[in-house]
Amino acid sequence: MASSEINHVSHPCIHGHISAERKFGFMRWITKILKLGSNQGVMNRRSPQFLGEDNVAFHTPVRSMDDHSRSEHEELDRAAALSLADDLKRPNGYRRHTNNDEDLARALQDSLNMPSYPPYAPPQFSPGGYSTYTHVPLRYCSGCNREIGYGKYLGCMQAFWHPECFCCHSCGYPITENEFSLSGKNPYHKSCFKELHHPKCEVCLQFIPTNGAGLIEYKSHPFWCQKYCPLHEYDNTARCCSCERLESWNARYIFLGDGRSLCLECMETSIMDTGDCQPLYHSIRDYYEGMNMKIEQQIPMLLVERQALNEAIEGEKNGHHHMPETRGLCLSEEQNISSISKRPRIGGNRLIGMKTKQQKLDRKCEVTAILVLYGLPRLLTGQILAHELMHGWLRLKGYRNLSPVVEEGICQVLSYMWLESEVMPGSRNIPSTSAAASSSFSSKKGGKSHTEKKLGEFFMHQIAQDTSTAYGAGFRAANTAVNRYGLRSTLNHIYMTGTFPV
């Protein structure tokens, strides 16, 4: 189970509008009073310099005012102007600062719905009676770097924007919602951000839901990294019996009829009957011969259904089986086995037309036959054959009373080595005759596709990461010994001591 926090941050956008209507009332009153004062010689007949129209902005939407509201605002404007004119009449231009001025200023500010900071600095008076006003820098759009004039604007991300310039980093369209998502310095529509960063289930193709703590919980395959909702582990979603991937709702798996399903990628190289498997079987026998491990006896090999394999396991006295799923068996007892004689064909999403036949297996040596589950891709079938052939080689060469860890471990090493020769030729120093046999079979079949190589890597990963004692720990101990001392020396040590060399 994996979990991760949602990489999602929402930020509010402040919508603003530059309005000239409210300013005109105040300016009209202050201008009238100053003109009146100018007739009496106030301020050496010089008028204060007011801010231009483009330097006042309000962070509130434009609202229409009825006549009553307009009247109230006119009275406030007139009161503020009278207060300012009264201060200008003081000698040498010094202002008398009173609490009434602050109250009046706050009342004027509230009536205009202005922010707590003024759009321009208060006037400063020089000893000569002149007044100056400090201009606040003009607003520039962070998108186009042009001046923001009259009209709507946005204030977000510590900057100002034209509405049409504040665009989603993903789709390129303007963000008009009151909230947006931020990744680094890039804004996104919340829906675009979710589409990009919120993981989707690769089975139901929906966004993986969050839990009560706001975390995304999902399952993930350790090799394929297929992410999916945890509930698909228990809702009868089909799982490929070969690669273990879950069936997606937009894909189709093939039902094999014995409780197993096969994805289309594994189906491409699947081996369906005993006759189809014979070339692969003989090439793996050649692989053994190339390592001076020739198997003299002609051991029958049969592809069987799941039920036939399970019945054979019940009749077998010896052997260690990888539960809960056994896909191959090295028989040492006489049994009647039902093998697949004619490959089935695909009908809809299932296999039809399969033919089987009963076959009596007589015991002529220590090994009666090798059984392999049908319907698996070529590399997985070969891996199983290499494993079971090693069981046969050990019995035929007189290796007795080996522990499950030792016997299954060394069989897994031979299985892994064969896969390695198919997926990564030349990765090990193996005899040239073995390499020639493997490359000869590959050339007849044609080059392996990327999909088949990836499957081979997965099967190697399964062997290396197996957590069971006999197959997992046994493989790692055997592989360490083979890498350190070589295969032949390791086999000799096992023959004499029943253990791996250390």
The pLDDT tens digits for 193-229 are 888 888 889 999 998 888 888 788 889 999 999 999 9
Q: What is the layout of strands, in order, in the sheet containing 261-262?
A: 261-262, 254-255, 350-352, 345-347
Place of tokens 């055997």: 478
Question: What contacts 290, CB < 8 A, 6 or more positions away?
Answer: 430, 431, 432, 433, 434, 435, 436, 437, 438
**The pLDDT of residue 55:** 32
Distance CA 427, CA 401 (A): 33
Cα separation of 386 and 290, whole Å?
Answer: 13
Asked if the peptide bond before residue 199 counts as cis, ω within 30 degrees of 0, the response is: no
Average pLDDT over residues 222-249: 93
Give the dihedral sign, CA 63/28/137/131.
negative
Q: Name the one residue in this structure whose structure tokens are 């860890």.
A: 405
Q: Are 149 and 65 in contact (CB under 8 A)?
A: no
The CA-based diameter of the chain, rounded to the nearest angstrom, is: 134
pLDDT > 90? residue 114: no
Contacts of 59 by beta carbon, 8 Å cutoff, 6+ apart: 14, 15, 16, 115, 155
Q: Show the tokens assigned to 354.
A: 């399969």
In the predicted model, what is the mean pLDDT of residues 258-285?
A: 94
CA–CA dist 123, 88 (Å, integer) = 11
CA separation for the pair 278, 467 (Å, rounded): 32
CA distances from 146 to 16, 140, 422, 430 (A): 17, 5, 64, 71
Q: b/e string for 245-256 if b means 16 or more Cβ within 10 A? A: bbbbeeeebbeb
Amino acid 240: pLDDT? 95
Q: What is the dihedral of CA 279, 280, 286, 291, to 10 degrees?
A: 180
For the cut 60, the answer to whether the pLDDT of residue 297 exceeds it is: yes
Model-wide pTM > 0.85: no
Instruction: Tell me the β-bridge partners of 210.
Output: 216
| Structure confidence at residue 176 (pLDDT) | 86
Q: Cα–Cα distance between 213 and 218 in angstroms, integer?
A: 14
Q: Alpha helix (H) ranges present in 232-304?
A: 264-267, 274-290
Tens digit of pLDDT for each residue in 420-474?
999 988 766 554 334 434 443 443 445 778 999 999 999 999 999 999 999 999 9
Q: Directed axis angle between helix 67-88 and helix 99-112, to 10°?
A: 150
335-357 pLDDT, tens digit each = 888 888 888 888 888 888 888 88
pLDDT reported for residue 325: 73
Q: Token pair of 315, please?
A: 């009749």
Pick from 317, 304, 490: nearest CA to 390: 490
The whole-number pLDDT of residue 318 equals 61
Say if CB 204 and CB 229 are below 8 A apart. Answer: yes
Written as six digits, the tokens of 166 are: 């504040």
pLDDT attached to residue 362: 80
pLDDT(267) > 50:
yes
What is residue 417's predicted lDDT score, i.e. its pLDDT? 97
168: left (phi over 0), alpha (psi -120 to 50) or beta: beta
Give the model confidence (pLDDT) of 359-415 as tens digits: 888 877 789 999 999 999 999 999 999 999 999 999 999 998 999 999 999 999 999
The predicted pLDDT at position 489 comes to 96
Distance, CA of 166 to CA of 142 (rounded, Å): 8
Residues 6+ apart with CB under 8 A from 398: 495
pLDDT at residue 277 in the model: 95
